[in-house]
Amino acid sequence: MSERAFTRVHGSVREYEVFARKQRIEPLRLIGSVVAPDDDLAAAYARATYDEERWIEMAIVPRAAITTLWAPGQDDQP
Amino acid sequence: MSLPGLVLSLADNKQLLGLRYAEWATRAPSLEADIAAAAMGLDDLGHSRVLYGCLEPLGEDPRGPERETDPASHRALPYFDQPWTSWPQFVAANAVLDTAFSVMIEACVDGGVEVLRSRLRKMLSEERYHFLHGRSWLKAGIDHEPLDEAWRQAVEWFGPPDGDVAGLRRQGSLSMGPGELAARLEERLERAAPPLEVDWSAWDPARRRGRPGSIDGRTFEMLRGLEEKRFYPAGA
């Protein structure tokens, strides 16, 4: 998955996907994304933006760390 | 100063910090920073309510009727007297002063007073994100002027080496004295405080600040609930 280029306040920022779940029996699911220059600020932004609900777990992953095998609209789906 | 006096100072500073954060909820450099300013503002206003609620169980509420008429009776630091006019002021407060208050809360949570040990613990988990926010923006670089001022006021707020906080440390009410608090702050921020010379003879032990002054009139009216009356229907 390619990383989009953002030109904002910081010279270089990354997009992070935010995952969370409300109960132990649930899997983590994608609930949104944030853009930040580093992991610390991304964590602070994710918590500030998505903490309205009573999540028992929240995690962030740099979008660039996700390897997409196939996606809607792509021809190489098995 | 008594322990309730220190807790009131912490509460007043958290309240003003929360209000100043909230003023930046639509002015920060990015949408994410706007949201973080609003969220941190809500956190700190909530923390101040918890801290005010600790005064009665501590056995002494130092708040008097003068708080309705005299803005200088509030115990916030000079840094919060006026709304911030620049983002670096926000960052310096977020990184240095908010962390200084958290370090003091740690000293309360690890101290020997049960009501503080039990009620303040949750604040530290919320403050972790304030710290990450402040430290990251600090690493991005800001003007040294607001940063130096925030450091000075943090050190002044911890108090003189042989003052009240040192006494509370000796009694076991707090787990850290002024020197340990300053060292913990430096450790957290991964940087040394700038060279500081504090004139403790001019220091106000009740307000824990080295110079006079008070919060601006509009903020004072807001604290008293008067500001919102501007929005009442005529005659209400």
Whether A38 is covered by a domain: the verdict is: yes
Whether A73 is covered by a domain: the verdict is: no
A29 bridge partner residues: A20
What phi and psi, each to the nearest 5 degrees, are found at residue A30?
A: -70, 125
Report the gap between the CA of B33 and the closest CA in chain A (Å).
Answer: 7
B211: exposed, middle or buried (C-beta count within 10 Å: 0-12, 13-18, 19+)? middle
- Express each pLDDT in B4-21 by its tens digit: 999 999 999 999 999 999
Contact assessment for residue B166 and residue B130, using Cβ atoms and an 8 Å cutoff: no
Whether A9 is covered by a domain: the verdict is: no
Residues of chain A with C-beta less than 8 angstroms from the C-beta of B40:
48
Residue of B nearest to A33 (CA): B32
What range defines the domain where residue A35 resides? 14-65
B192: exposed, middle or buried (C-beta count within 10 Å: 0-12, 13-18, 19+)? exposed
- Ramachandran bin of B213, using left for φ above 0, alpha for ψ from -120 to 50, beta for the remaining angles: left
**Encoded amino acid at B127, one letter:** E
- Express each pLDDT in A1-53 by its tens digit: 444 444 456 778 899 999 999 999 999 999 999 999 999 999 999 999 998 89
Whether A43 is covered by a domain: the verdict is: yes
Looking at the predicted complex, does its ipTM rise above 0.90? no
Minimal Cβ distance to A40: which of B32, B39, B136: B136
- Express each pLDDT in A55-68 by its tens digit: 999 999 999 999 99
Q: Distance from CA of residue A47 to its chain's centroid?
A: 12
Contact assessment for residue B140 and residue B134, using Cβ atoms and an 8 Å cutoff: no
- Express each pLDDT in B156-184 by its tens digit: 999 999 999 999 999 999 999 999 999 99
How far apart (Å, rounded) are the C-alpha atoms in residues B130 and B29?
A: 16
Residues of chain A with C-beta less than 8 angstroms from the C-beta of B39:
47-49, 51
Report the gap between the CA of A40 and the closest CA in chain B (Å).
Answer: 5
CATH (domain of A52): 3.10.20
**Encoded amino acid at A16, one letter:** Y
Does B140 reach chain A within 8 Å, measured CB to CB?
yes
Q: Say how many domains are in chain A.
A: 1
Q: Does domain B3-58+87-194 have CATH number 3.40.50.300?
A: no
What phi and psi, each to the nearest 5 degrees, are found at residue B85?
A: -105, -5
